[in-house]
Amino acid sequence: MEFLNLVRSRKSVRSFLNKPVPREFVEKIIEVATHAPTNCNQQLWNFTVVEDAPTKERLIKEAASSTLLRRVPMIVVVSYDGWNYKEAIQGGALAVGHILLAATEYGLGSLPMNSYGGDNKVKKVLNIPDSQTICCFVLLGYADEKAQTTIPVPRRNVGEVIHWGSYMAARTISFLYNPEKWSRQDLVNHQRFYCRKTFMGKEMDIMSGLERELVRRELALYNGPVQDILSYDGAYIREFPENTELTTLDLCEETAQYTKAAAELLDIKINSKVLDDDSDSDGKKVAFNASTIVFKLERIPASVRKQVYKVVSGEFLIISRKQNIFLGLFFLCIKMFFGKDIRRTGIFNFFGPYKPISVSSIVSELRAEGFKDIRWEGYFILPVFFEQIYQMFLQYVASEGSSYLHRERRTDFISKTLDALLRLQGFKRFGWLGSIAVIRCQK
C-alpha cells in the first residue's frame, strides 16, 4: 500500500521554489534509476545533470528548449546508447519512471519534458556524443505552493484501456481537422486529458495581438450580465470590461474548473456553469444582456453548436475565424505537409479539431434556431493569425521538429515585414474577403 500511495501521489510539477536541490539527493535519485531494467542487462544509460544558469540559457537560445528551464533548479538529461533505437527508448524511459518515483519519495517535484528542443543542438551544448539517444529531460526542484495545491489530473478508467487476449474494437477519435468528425465527448476528452498537460488556468489558446484587440473592442459594448460560452481556458475573459457580471459555460465540470483557475489567476470574479445547465440555483432560467462565444465556433460540431444556440440569452456575439483564401491555402499546405492526422500539427496542441466557419452556413443555422436581426462584418484580409503561425514555424525549425511554441518571440526580416503588412490592414471592414467574422443577432 505504501508503494501504491507513492505512485498515486506523484504528479508533474511545473513551478518550483527558488531553492537549490542538494547533489546528494540527485545522486540518490539516479542510483534508484540504475535499478531500472534494461535490455540484456546492458545498463547503457547516462544522466547529464545541469544546474548552472548559463547552460540553461544556452539550451533555451541555441537549442530552442522551453523557457521553463530558467525556473527550475536542476535538470537531468536522460540518454541511452543509441545503437538500437527501440532499446534506447525502452531503457531510457524505464529509468525516467524510476527517477520520477524516487523524486516523489525524497520530497521533490519532478517533470518529464520532451519540449527540450533540437537533439543535435542539445548534444552540442552539453557535449553529449552523437551515439547517445536522448530520451527526455527530467526537471527537479522543490514544488512551490501553487504546485503543491494543484488538483491531480483525471486518469482514464482502466476499463477503457485494457484488452484481454486481443485488442478489442473500441470507438476511436478520427483526429481529423474537421470538427464535424468529433463528438462532444471527444472534445471533452481532449480538454480533460491532453490540454491538462500544463498547470490549471494556463492559456492554451494562441492569438495575435490584433485579434485580442478586436475581441476587446467588440466586448467593450457589454457590461453585464453576460455569459461567455465555452470559455475553456479563460483566454478571453480578461478582455471583458472591468467589473463585468460574467458567467462562463463550459463543456464539463472539469473544464469549468480550468476556467475558474484562470479567473483566479487574473483576479476576475465569475459564475461558472456547465453548458447543459442554463438555470440558477433555484432552477429558473437566467437572463443575460448578452451571450458571447469567442474563437470557439470553428472547433465544435453542429450537434454542439445546436446546444450552444439553445442557451443563448440576450444579444448573441460570435467572433470566429472564417473561410478565407489565405486561410484556405494555409490549411491546404498544412495537410499536404503533415497529412490528415491533426495531432501531427501544432493546431491540435492548442485547439483540438479546427475548421474556419462558413458564414453563410452559420447564418442559416441561426435563422433555423429562431435568431433574428443577423448582421456581420469581416476583418483582416490577410489573417493576423499568421503572426503566430510564423512564430510556430520558427520554433518547429529551431527545435528540429520537436515542438511548436516558444514563449520568447523571435524577430527577423520576415517577422517584421509580416507585422507591418498585418497592421497596415487596421480594423477596416472587408466583408466576405475577411478572415475573421464578427456576427451579432437576437434570439
Residue 175 C-alpha cell reads as: 483526429
Q: Which residues of 164-182 are buried (b: 16+ CB within 10 A; e: fewer)?
A: eeeeeeeeebebebebeeb
Q: Which amino acid is at 268?
A: I
Do 270 and 227 touch, CB atoms closer than 8 A?
no
Residue 194: predicted pLDDT: 75
Same domain, residue pair 235 and 370: yes
266, containing H or E segment: helix 253-266
Distance CA 128, CA 46 (A): 10
Strands 74-81 and 45-50 turn out to be antiparallel
412 in any annotated domain = no
Which DSSP symbol is given to 75? E
414 in any annotated domain = no
What CATH number corresponds to the domain at position 136? 3.40.109.10
Q: Which of 106, 127, 148 finishes a domain?
A: 148
Residue 307: helix, strand or coil by DSSP?
Answer: helix
Same domain, residue pair 119 and 205: no
Distance CA 385, CA 271 (A): 30
Each residue's pLDDT, cut to its tens digit, for the chain (443 residues) gives 799 999 998 999 988 999 999 999 999 999 999 999 999 999 999 999 999 999 999 999 999 999 999 999 999 999 999 999 999 999 999 999 999 999 999 999 999 999 999 999 999 999 999 999 999 999 999 999 888 887 777 788 888 888 899 988 766 677 899 999 999 989 988 887 776 656 677 777 888 899 999 999 999 999 879 999 999 888 899 999 998 999 999 998 888 888 998 898 889 999 999 987 655 545 556 789 999 999 999 999 999 999 999 999 999 999 999 999 999 999 999 999 999 999 888 888 888 899 999 999 999 999 999 999 999 999 999 999 899 889 989 999 999 988 887 878 889 999 999 999 999 999 999 999 999 999 999 98
Same domain, residue pair 307 and 264: yes
Strands 246-250 and 270-274 turn out to be parallel
Residue 169: predicted pLDDT: 73
DSSP annotation string for 326-392: HHHHHHHHHHHHH-S-GGGSHHHHHTSS---B-HHHHHHHHHHTT-EEEEEEEE-SS-TTHHHHHHH
Same domain, residue pair 327 and 380: yes
| pTM strictly above 0.85 | yes
161 in any annotated domain = no
Residue 336: predicted pLDDT: 93
Distance CA 241, CA 360 (A): 30
Same domain, residue pair 190 and 327: yes
Same domain, residue pair 223 and 132: no
**Number of domains the chain is built from:** 2
Torsion over CA of 225, 229, 230 and 231, rounded to 10 degrees? -30
Residue 160: helix, strand or coil by DSSP?
Answer: helix
Q: Which of 127, 148, 169 finishes a domain?
A: 148
Give the chain's length.
443
Give the burial class of 187: count Cβ atoms within 10 A of its Cβ; 0-12 exposed, 13-18 middle, 19 or more buried: buried
406 in any annotated domain = no
What CATH number corresponds to the domain at position 435? 3.40.50.150
CA distances from 81 to 42, 368, 377 (A): 10, 63, 58
Range of the domain at 247: 179-384+425-442
389 in any annotated domain = no
Q: What digits encode the pLDDT tens for the residues 155-171?
A: 888 888 888 999 887 66
- Name the residue with cell 485580442: 212
